Amino acid sequence: MFHKFELMKIALAQINTIIGAISHNREKIVDFSRKAVEKGADIVIFPELALCGYPPTDQIYFDLLESELKILVEQTANLPITIIVGSITEQKKGKPFNSLIVIREGKILHRYHKVLLPDYDVFDENRYFTAGVPQHPVEINGIKVGFTICEDIWIMDPDLKPIYDVNPLEPLKNADVVVNISGSPFSIGHPARRLNVITETARFTNSVVAYVNHVGAQTDLIFDGRSCVVYPDGTIEALAPAFQEALVVAEIKQSGTFPPFVGEPWIEDIHSALVVGIRDFFSKKGLKKAYVGLSGGIDSSVVCSLAVEALGSENVVGVLMPSQFTSNESIEDAEQLAKNLGIETYTIPITEPYERIVKTLQENVWDDKPFDVTEENIQARIRMIYLHALSNKLGGVILNTSNKSELATGYGTLYGDMAGALSVLGDVYKTWVYRLARVINQQHGNIIPERVMTKPPSAELRPNQTDQDTLPPYDILDTVLIRYIEMHEPASRIAEATGINIETVKSIINMVNRNEYKRYQAPPILRVTSKAFGIGRRMPIVGLFETTLK
Amino acid sequence: MFHKFELMKIALAQINTIIGAISHNREKIVDFSRKAVEKGADIVIFPELALCGYPPTDQIYFDLLESELKILVEQTANLPITIIVGSITEQKKGKPFNSLIVIREGKILHRYHKVLLPDYDVFDENRYFTAGVPQHPVEINGIKVGFTICEDIWIMDPDLKPIYDVNPLEPLKNADVVVNISGSPFSIGHPARRLNVITETARFTNSVVAYVNHVGAQTDLIFDGRSCVVYPDGTIEALAPAFQEALVVAEIKQSGTFPPFVGEPWIEDIHSALVVGIRDFFSKKGLKKAYVGLSGGIDSSVVCSLAVEALGSENVVGVLMPSQFTSNESIEDAEQLAKNLGIETYTIPITEPYERIVKTLQENVWDDKPFDVTEENIQARIRMIYLHALSNKLGGVILNTSNKSELATGYGTLYGDMAGALSVLGDVYKTWVYRLARVINQQHGNIIPERVMTKPPSAELRPNQTDQDTLPPYDILDTVLIRYIEMHEPASRIAEATGINIETVKSIINMVNRNEYKRYQAPPILRVTSKAFGIGRRMPIVGLFETTLK
C-alpha cells in the first residue's frame, strides 16, 4: 500500500470560502486546482461543501446546485488532475445530499453522500440533508480510495460513537487512502480531539487518512484548517498551517507533528482565532473601518488590540466617551493604549446629553427618585448612540467588547455596551481576557498598559463602582460558569466538585438563567469554546430551569 | 369497535405548560387528572412532553426526568383513571427518547417513543432525541389503543411524507383508538392542514383518533390547542376550543366541526394568537406592566390595543415621545387611542436631548455634515432610552412595534424602534396589520381612530417623510416578501408568477438579504406564519445569496 502511495502526490486545498458566493468559491477551486497541477499533484482535495460554503444555512432551499456543480466540472475539464470537492447534490426525499464529488477532466467519476449527520451544538444537518449509506473504496489512479465527510469519521470519538447506529468506516478497512473532507470549526481543545479522531480512523481502517478542513471565519464560526495526512501508526505526514489558507502537497518522506497541546498555547490559539474572526467578518462583508469604545478597561483594550492586528491601525478608531464617573486613570490608560497602537481617536463626553435626558425624565415622569440602574443604563446607551452615529455618518461598524462572564451573568446594558456588529470576546471568560492581554503584550511589546491589567475592573457608571460590588470574584465566577455552561452540570454537582458554596453556585446559575433574554439580542459572537452563546446553545426566554438548580 | 368505544370516556387535557417548570406542570397534570375522574373519564390524555414543557430546549442536558416522572406516578396512584402523558425518558445512545407514558394507579403500564423526529423550521428534534420504532396497539381497558406522538402522524401530510423512511401508522391499522399527543404550534393555515392529517390518520388506520395538543405561548411559539376526536369517516367528535386551556370529555353522540377556514378568519386567528402570546409572555415571566411607544401610527396602535386585551388597561402604559418632526395629527391620534383604551400615558419630548447629542457630535467629531440617517437613528434611539428608563425605574417591559415588512427590509433602527422585550407584530406583514386593526375595531368598537388607518404611513424622522420614499408600495412589497420568505422562491420565479418587475423583485430580495444582521439582534417574535424570523429561519450574516437572486 505505501509503495503505491509513494507514487502519488495528494494536494490538500485548505481554502477560505464565502457562504452562498458560489461563483467566488468556484473560481477559488479552479485556481487551487491549477496550482496543484503546477505542483505535480495527482489529486487535489477541497473541504466539505466547498462550492456553496459551510454552513450553507437556509439558502439550501434555493436549489440550483447541480447546475453550479456542472459549471465547475466544465471549467476544470482541461486540468490533468483528479479533483475531490464537497457540494450539495440531488434532491432526494425532499432534502439533498451533502456530497463528495470526484471529478476528472470534465467527468464526474463518483459521488459519495455523507452518512452521519450531526445535530448537536452548532450543527443542524438533519434539517438540511438526507443521509447517505456507507460505501466501499473506489479505485482511482490504481489506488483504493475510501471516502468520508466530516462527521463520518467522528464515529471514532468515544463521546459521539454511542449516538450513531452505522459505522461508515466499516467497509473502508484496508483501503489505501481514506479521504475526509471537513467543515470542523475551532474551539479550544478541539484540534487535539480532532487529531485523535483522524489517527483512530487511520488505525481502524489501516489506511492513510487525507484530511482537508475549511479555514477562515463564517460570522461566528471560525475554522482553523490544520488539514493533514496521517498514517495508521499515527505518523503525521504533511500538516497545513492553522488559521490560514494553504495548498499542501503530501509527500511520504516529509514528516511533521501538530504543535503540542500542553501548557497554555490554547490562549494563543484563541488569539489567532479571534484575529481571523474579525478579519474575515470585515473582508467578507466588504467593510473596512472598526470603532471600539475605549473605557481604559481590559476588555476594550484587548478588543482594540485584536482589531488593529486584524485590520491595521489605519482602520481602527478608538472612541473615548467619558462621564463624570470616569476616572483620570481610565482616560490616561485609554489614551496610552491608542498611542501604543497608533490609532485615531475621538473623545466625545456624555455628561451633557446624560443630564439632559435625566432632567427630561424628571420633568415629565418622576420628580425625584434615587439614582439606580436606570441612570447607569442611560449612560451606556448614550455611548451606543455616539458609536452608531460615527458608523452612520462616517462608515464602518462597531466592535462589541462584552466578555463571556458578563454576557453569562447579564452584567451589561442591552442596547448599551452589549451593542455592536460583532462580539469579539463574547466567548472568552473574564479570567481568560487577562491571559489574552498578556499574550498580546508578549507578542507586540506591551501595547496594553500594565495598569489596565492590575486595577480592579469597573464599569464606572457610578462613583467608586467595581464589578465585584455585583459579581462574585471572577475566578470563582468563571469556575462555576464553565461547569454550568460547557459541561451542563447542575448546581449540586458543581458545588461538590469545586467546594464552592452551593448558594453561591445557585445564585450564579440563576443569573445565567435570568438573562437569556439579554443574550437573545446580543450580536453574533466569535466562537472559541465548545459551548458559545448563540445558535449552539438554545435555552428558553420564558421558562423555569428547575433541573439546572438541583 | 364503536360499540366498545361508546362505553369509554376519553378526556382530552389541553393544558398550558411552562418550560422547565416541572413541579408546576406536574401539579397541573395531577389537577386535570382529578377533574377527569370527576367527569367520569376512563382515560385522560395530556400533550407531548407535558411534564417538562415543549420545546424543552437545551435544558434536556440536565437530565433528572425519570425521577420527575416517578413522582408523577406516585402522586396519581390514588386516581382511578388511565393517564397518558408525554415525558422525556431513558438516556439511550447518548440521547433520551421523546416518550408517551401510560400510567395507571401507581404503575407505568407502557412506554412509546416518538418515531419521526422533525428538523425543519422551528424543530430540532434530532438534536435532542433518539428515534423510537413503530409499535403495535396495546390493549387498555379491553380496547386496542395505538400510540403516536405529534410528527408520527404527519407521515399523512403529502409534503412531509417523502422525507421519512418509516410509517409509524402501518402497525396501527384497525386499532380501536389511535392516540396522538402533540406540540403543534399555530401558524395561519396550519389548523386546517393539521385537521387533514388527523382525518387521514383516522382513515388510514381505520381507527378513532384522539388528538391532544398544547395550548398557550412559549416565548415566540404559540400553541392553539384544538384537540379533538376524529372518526375514520371524517366526523369530528369533541373539539377543544382554540387558544385556551380545556378538559374535554369525548362522547360519541356529541358532534362538532372545526370552524370553517374560509374568507378571512385567519386574521381573527392571528388576533387570538397574538393576545395569547402577549398574555403568556407576561404571566409566565411574572411580569405585569407593558410600555408601548405610541407614534399615532398603525403599528403602535394595534400593539397597544392587543396589549390592553391581553393584560388589561391598568397594565398598559402608552408613551408619546414627540420631536420637531412629529405632526399634530400624530399626537392627536395617539392621545385619542389612549383615551379609547383607557390607559395611562406619559409624554416625554425628545427634542432637547436630540439637539444636545447632535451638537456634542458636531463639537467633537464633525463640524457640519448634512442631515441623514444618522440623525434619524439618534431620534429612534433616544426613544428607546426613555422607554427603557421607564422600565428600569418603574418596572415592566417594552413591547416592540415593528412589523414583518419593516423587519424584512431593515426599515427600522436597530437599538431604536427595533428594541423591546417581545415583538408582537414581527411576523405580521404591514398589509395584514391594517386588516388586524379592522378586526380589532369590529370587536371592540372603533378603538383605533379612523385616520390612523387611512393616512400614509410615516416614521416622522424628517420633514414630510413617508414610508414610500424608501420602500415600494406595501401591497407589492408584501407580495414579494411572502413568496421569497415563506415559499423560498428565487427572483425570477417571483417576477414570473406576479408580473412584478424583476428589478423591483431583486431590490426587495437584496433588502431582505442585507438586513440579516439587524434581525439577528431583534427581540423574540410571536410566530403566526409558517416562516417567522427567528430560530425557524437561518440565514448567514456574512455571505452572499447568489441562488436567491437567480
**What does B491-543 look like in DSSP terms, one character per residue?**
HHHHHHHH---HHHHHHHHHHHHHTHHHHHTSPPB---SSS-SBTTB---SSS
CB contact under 8 A, A20 and B360: no
In 10 A of CB A365, how many CB atoms? 17
pTM: 0.92
pLDDT at B142: 82
pLDDT at A7: 58
Residue type, B136: H
The rounded distance, in Å, linking the Cα atoms of B81 and B43 is 6
Chain A residues with CB-CB distance to B346 below 8 A = 364-365
Assembly ipTM: 0.91
What's the sign of the alpha-carbon dihedral B447, B449, B455, B457?
negative
Closest CA to A200 of A247, A224, A232: A232
The rounded distance, in Å, linking the Cα atoms of A351 and A280 is 36
First to last CA, chain A: 56
Closest CA to B115 of B72, B42, B170: B170
The rounded distance, in Å, linking the Cα atoms of A250 and A39 is 11
CB-nearest partner of A57 from B219, B517, B539: B539
**DSSP-derived secondary structure letter, B244:** S
Catalytic residue list contains B125: no
The rounded distance, in Å, linking the Cα atoms of A141 and B207 is 59
Contact assessment for residue B186 and residue B269, using Cβ atoms and an 8 Å cutoff: yes
Strand order in B82-92's β-sheet?
B107-113, B95-104, B82-92, B43-45, B10-14, B246-250
CB-nearest partner of B162 from A93, A285, A550: A93
* Distant-in-sequence, close-in-space partners of A318: CB < 8 Å, separation ≥ 6: A291, A292, A294, A304, A334, A337, A338, A341, A343, A344, A345, A346
Catalytic residue list contains A48: yes
Place of cell 388589561: B312
Q: Share the mean pLDDT of chain B.
A: 93
Compute the average pLDDT of residues B228-250.
91
pLDDT at A546: 85
What's the sign of the alpha-carbon dihedral A48, A54, A58, A61?
negative
* Percent of chain B as helix, strand, coil, to the nearest 5: 40, 20, 40
pLDDT band, residue B3 (cuts 50/70/90): very low
CB contact under 8 A, B389 and A374: yes
With 90 as the cut, is the pLDDT of residue B263 above it? no
Place of cell 404591514: B430
- Catalytic residue, chosen from B150, B200, B404, B516, is B150
C-alpha cell at B531: 416562516
The rounded distance, in Å, linking the Cα atoms of B16 and A363 is 43
CA distance, residue B348 to nearest chain A CA (Å): 6
Strand order in B236-239's β-sheet?
B138-140, B143-149, B177-182, B208-213, B228-230, B236-239
Q: In this predicted structure, which of A19-28, A407-416, B123-132, B257-266 has the lowest mean pLDDT?
A: B257-266
pLDDT at B92: 67
- Catalytic residue, chosen from B9, B28, B95, B114, is B114
Model pLDDT for residues B149-202, shown as the tens digit of each residue: 999 999 999 989 988 989 999 999 999 999 999 999 999 889 999 999 999 999
- φ/ψ (deg, to 5) at A186: -70, 140
CA distance, residue B128 to nearest chain A CA (Å): 8
Using the CB atoms, write b or e for B424-441: b if 16+ within 10 Å. bbbbbbbbbbbbbbebbb
User: What is the pairing mode between strands B215-218 and B221-224?
Assistant: antiparallel
Contact assessment for residue B412 and residue B430, using Cβ atoms and an 8 Å cutoff: no
Nearest CA in chain A to B493: A62
Instruction: Classify domain B267-466 by CATH number.
Output: 3.40.50.620
Give bridge partners of residue B10 from the DSSP assignment. Answer: B43, B250
CA distance, residue B199 to nearest chain A CA (Å): 23
pLDDT band, residue B64 (cuts 50/70/90): low
Residues in chain A: 550
Is B377 an interface residue toward A (CB < 8 Å)?
A: yes
pLDDT band, residue B432 (cuts 50/70/90): very high
Is A133 an interface residue toward B (CB < 8 Å)?
A: no
C-alpha cell at A529: 469554546
Is B130 an interface residue toward A (CB < 8 Å)?
A: yes
Model pLDDT for residues B450-482, shown as the tens digit of each residue: 999 999 999 999 998 999 989 999 999 999 999
Q: In this predicted structure, which of B238-242, B312-316, B336-340, B505-509 has the lowest mean pLDDT?
A: B238-242
Which of the four CATH numbers 3.40.50.170, 3.60.110.10, 3.40.50.720, 1.20.120.80 does domain B2-261 have? 3.60.110.10
Is A94 an interface residue toward B (CB < 8 Å)?
A: yes
CB-nearest partner of B59 from A58, A159, A547: A547
With 50 as the cut, is the pLDDT of residue B283 above it? yes
Is B393 an interface residue toward A (CB < 8 Å)?
A: yes
Q: Domain spans of chain B?
A: 2-261, 267-466
CB-nearest partner of B521 from A218, A523, A538: A523
The rounded distance, in Å, linking the Cα atoms of A223 and B427 is 34
Give bridge partners of residue B112 from the DSSP assignment. Answer: B100
Give burial (CB, 10 Å; 0-12/13-18/19+) of B352: middle
Pick out chain A residues at pLDDT < 50: 1-4, 253-264
The rounded distance, in Å, linking the Cα atoms of A272 and B217 is 43
pLDDT band, residue B61 (cuts 50/70/90): confident
Q: Where are the beta strands (DSSP E) in A93-163?
A: 95-104, 107-113, 138-140, 143-149
CB contact under 8 A, B58 and A538: yes
pLDDT at B7: 58
Give burial (CB, 10 Å; 0-12/13-18/19+) of B444: middle
User: What is the pairing mode between strands A397-400 and A422-423?
Assistant: parallel
CA distance, residue A140 to nearest chain B CA (Å): 33
Q: In this predicted structure, which of A437-446, B118-127, B541-550 has the lowest mean pLDDT?
A: B541-550
Closest CA to A160 of A200, A132, A210: A200
* Distant-in-sequence, close-in-space partners of B424: CB < 8 Å, separation ≥ 6: B274, B277, B278, B302, B303, B306, B307, B399, B400, B401, B526
Chain A residues with CB-CB distance to B366 below 8 A = 393-394
> What is the SS3 assignment for A436-484?
HHHHHHHHHCCCCCHHHHHCCCCCCCCCCCCHHHCCCCHHHHHHHHHHH
Catalytic residue list contains B352: no
C-alpha cell at A521: 439580542
Residues 445-474 on A with a CB inside 8 Å of B are: none
Q: Where are the beta strands (DSSP E) in A138-253?
A: 138-140, 143-149, 177-181, 208-212, 215-218, 221-224, 228-230, 236-239, 246-250
> Which top CATH class is A267-549?
alpha beta
Give whole-number Cα distances, B285 to A518, A519, A538, B19, in Å.
Answer: 14, 16, 18, 11
CB-nearest partner of A392 from B377, B394, B540: B377
Transcribe B85-143 into DSSP letters.
EEEEEEEETTEEEEEEEEEETTEEEEEEE------STT--HHHH---------EEETTE
